[in-house]
Amino acid sequence: MGQARKHTRDLSERVRKGDRDAATQLLSHSVRLGHRRLAVRRLFFAHAIGAKIDADDVAYCAKLLDDLPFEAIRDLAGDAQAQARRIQRRASLV
């Protein structure tokens, strides 16, 4: 496995533990690679856990939101909120 892919997997693991910095890094990674729905989902998730989000990443996702139907936006936001709640519950059990 390449180093970049390993780094992304490590970031994903950290995100599953509620790491805000990792969430921001994954969002930026998705923006750099031109991901669309994944970038929007990661934006919503990073926001849900209170991560500091780069203005350029927000601007990229804002442009994408114009092209997505309301239902897709609602679903992406809802999924991100649910994931954030699961992580917060897990953290409170530790």
Residue 3 has pLDDT above 90, yes or no: no
| Per-residue pLDDT tens digits for 24-79 | 999 999 999 999 999 999 999 999 999 999 999 999 999 999 999 999 999 999 99
User: What total number of domains does the chain contain?
Assistant: 1
Q: Which residue range is the domain that position 79 belongs to?
A: 3-93
- For the question of whether the overall pTM of this predicted structure is more than 0.95, the answer is no
Q: Please state whether 35 falls in left (phi above 0), alpha (psi between -120 and 50) or beta.
A: beta
Structure tokens that stand for 82 in this block: 């649910």
pLDDT higher at 65 or 3 = 65
pLDDT score, position 70: 96
Nearest to 45 by CA among 10, 18, 71, 70: 18
Residue 58 CB: number of other CB atoms within 10 A?
Answer: 15
